Amino acid sequence: MSVLRRRVTVAVHNGVHARPVAELVRLAEAHGAVVMLSTSGGDTVDLSSVLAVMDLGIASGDEVTLEVDDSPEAATLLDKLSAVLAPA
């Protein structure tokens, strides 16, 4: 099965703290998808774990990569996750 990836530059003012992490996890769970988040430093975690994502210490300006198995809803899910990390 193929995988969709999206690089996002984090634009959340105080970095990826509890509120955005909770929203990322909620979105992934709502879609029933396994979503992996990787930092530019090579750390990778599953978005199902709030603590694992928090432990990454992602700051505003950091670049991350989101990865999800390709499905009909995958692109929409990546759009929603990206909007949490880099709100317009």
Could you give the residue numbers annotated as active site?
17
b/e per residue 29-39 (b: at least 16 CB within 10 A):
eebebebbbbb
Taking each helix axis from N to C end, the angle separating 74-85 and 18-31, rounded to the nearest 10 degrees, works out to 170
| Cα–Cα distance for residue pair 48/5, rounded to 1 Å | 17
